[in-house]
Amino acid sequence: MGTLFKKKGSQQWQMGVCVAGRQICKSTHTTKRSIARNLLARWETEVFEGRFRLPRTTPPSFEDWADHFLLKIAHPNTHRRYSSSVDKLKAAFAGLRLTDISPEKIEQYQERRIAEVEAATVNHDLRVLRRMLRLAERKDLIVQNPFTRIEFLRQKTPRLPHILTFAEEEKLLGVAVPYLRMLVILILETGMRSHREALPLRWDAIDFIRDLIQVRESKTRAGVRNVPLSTRCKTELLAWKKSLGQDFSPFVFPNFHSPERPLRDVRHSWTKALKEAGLGYFWIYNLRHTFCSRLSAVGVSDLFVAQMIGHSSPGILQIYSKAIDEYRREAVKKLEQLRYTQNDSVLPTLASTPLVN
């Protein structure tokens, strides 16, 4: 049989039940006795039906569990991203135990953070917290993950990526400095990630005999892959290697002041090249989107496109594969050609119109 009571100085009702000889108490978070009575009845039913589990041990503090959680994150990039969120969460829930993290406290955290940063940042913190609490629930450190009652914040609709046309590509390559020109061609021909895969690329990862690039380190496990080399990309890489000198650096894009290290950033040269080419600013990462769109436009399946760019599933391609107007016009021309060849009487003067290759 459960009981309702109030702590001295508090207006909220507390409820307590006896489980396996232990008295367990928690707040109802309400000052209304009728609501508190209903919550108690629900909790008593969970105990009676054996659905209420006691934590196996005394739950750790949130800060200790957060530190333990980070130690389990092996990938350095993921560890770095999670560390930022964990620091914010530790500051918000300092002094609390894992069992003290309630839906109400999580919602309060949402309200405080949304006044400081974008919804996407808050949601990222919440996803980290949800993963932490899932692990704690799995280890029976908490009875139930409070995220079952939490909704993530609505985020702004992301802007569509800029898909580079062939005309824009020609302008960009015409004004780019040599190393940036090589980087642009490499991404457009392989879909490699600019900063995590292309810039740290070593010459010994390129097999000019079998025409492939070995991506040895990436953002995810799926990103570790072999990327086929196109004839154009192979020709450009060999010419670039010759211009650098055979033993200048082990890296395809070296730091010219310290050739034993790779180039880390191209923001300045990228911005300058876009301006000189008369193009509006967009991230260099959009070249990867362009690679995906071009593959999709020529009929490559989403599954193979996902494998080419190092994704485990093709779902992300809804954003990446936005066919550009040039490909749409080409598709219409092919449809017109089919119509003319099936019926010579329809617009015969246009039937001989050549297609744009």
Kindly indicate the confidence band of residue 4, based on its pLDDT and cuts at 50, 70 and 90.
Answer: confident
Type of residue found at 289: H
What does the pLDDT look like over 161-173, one tens digit per residue? Answer: 888 999 999 999 9
| Rounded mean pLDDT, 327-340 | 63
pLDDT score of 78:
84
**302 pLDDT higher than 90:** no
Average pLDDT, the chain: 82
**261 pLDDT higher than 90:** yes
Kindly indicate the confidence band of residue 324, based on its pLDDT and cuts at 50, 70 and 90.
Answer: very low
Q: In angstroms, rounded to a whole number, what is the distance separating the alpha carbons of residues 276 and 174?
A: 9
Q: Which of 44-48, 217-221, 259-263 has the lowest mean pLDDT?
A: 44-48
61 with 30: CB under 8 angstroms?
Answer: no
| Rounded mean pLDDT, 332-344 | 65
pLDDT score of 6:
85
pLDDT score of 278:
96
CATH among 1.10.443.10, 3.90.550.10, 3.40.50.1000, 3.40.50.300 for 166-323:
1.10.443.10
**Residues across the chain:** 357
pLDDT score of 237:
96
Q: In angstroms, rounded to a whole number, what is the distance separating the alpha carbons of residues 168 and 321?
A: 18
Kindly indicate the confidence band of residue 308, based on its pLDDT and cuts at 50, 70 and 90.
Answer: confident
**143 pLDDT higher than 60:** yes
Residue spans of the domains in the chain: they are 3-48, 62-149, 166-323
Q: 62-149 has which fold?
A: DNA polymerase; domain 1 (1.10.150)
What does the pLDDT look like over 178-226, one tens digit per residue? Answer: 999 999 999 999 999 888 899 999 999 999 999 999 988 877 676 788 8
What does the pLDDT look like over 69-105, one tens digit per residue? Answer: 999 888 787 888 899 999 999 999 998 988 888 888 9
Which residue did the predictor score with more confidence, 299 or 194? 194
**347 pLDDT higher than 60:** no
Which residue did the predictor score with more confidence, 158 or 122? 122
What does the pLDDT look like over 17-43, one tens digit per residue? Answer: 776 566 767 777 788 888 888 877 876
| Rounded mean pLDDT, 126-150 | 85
Type of residue found at 28: T
Which residue did the predictor score with more confidence, 7 or 64? 64
pLDDT score of 140:
77
Q: In angstroms, rounded to a whole number, what is the distance separating the alpha carbons of residues 183 and 233?
A: 10
Q: Which of 116, 120, 63, 112 is nearest to 86 (CA)?
A: 63
* Integer angstrom CA distances of residue 13 from 2, 4, 39, 318, 334: 13, 7, 10, 50, 73
In CATH terms, are 62-149 and 166-323 the same topology?
Answer: no
